[in-house]
């Protein structure tokens, strides 16, 4: 009975830790994406990306687009591992 309770507490602890790590990864991804979008907005490539997005009826700026890409990328950065 005691061993089962420790197993349950261990599972809950690991679950909470995984949720926290995913939250931190998504938040850091959004921060880095916003910075990268801001920097990229100063280049001709940033202007080209905005024109492409406008052509498909997505009107945004590079900081918002970088934040979105970084946020989505934050979820996948720890999920996919390459083969050795």
pLDDT in tens, 1-58: 556 877 888 889 999 998 898 888 888 889 999 999 999 999 999 999 999 999 999 9
The answer to whether residue 10 is domain-embedded is no
The total domain count for the chain is: 1
77: confidence class by pLDDT, cuts 50, 70, 90 = low
Regarding pTM above 0.85, the answer is: no
The answer to whether residue 6 is domain-embedded is no
- Per-residue model confidence (pLDDT) at position 3: 61
The answer to whether residue 70 is domain-embedded is yes
Full domain range(s) for residue 42: 21-76
The answer to whether residue 13 is domain-embedded is no
Q: What is the secondary structure of the chain as a DSSP string?
A: -HHHHHHHHHHHHHHHHHHHHHHHHHHHHHHHHHHHHHHHTTSHHHHHHHHHHHHTT----HHHHHHHHHHHHHHHTTT-----
pLDDT at 83 over 70: no
């Amino acid at each position: 009975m005691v061993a089962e309770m420790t197993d349950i507490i261990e599972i809950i602890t690991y679950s909470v830790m995984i949720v926290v790590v995913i939250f931190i990864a998504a938040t850091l991804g959004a921060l880095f994406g916003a910075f990268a979008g801001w920097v990229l907005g100063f280049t001709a490539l940033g202007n080209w990306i905005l024109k492409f997005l406008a052509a498909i009826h997505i009107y945004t700026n590079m900081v918002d687009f970088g934040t979105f890409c970084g946020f989505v990328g934050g979820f996948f950065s720890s999920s996919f591992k390459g083969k050795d």
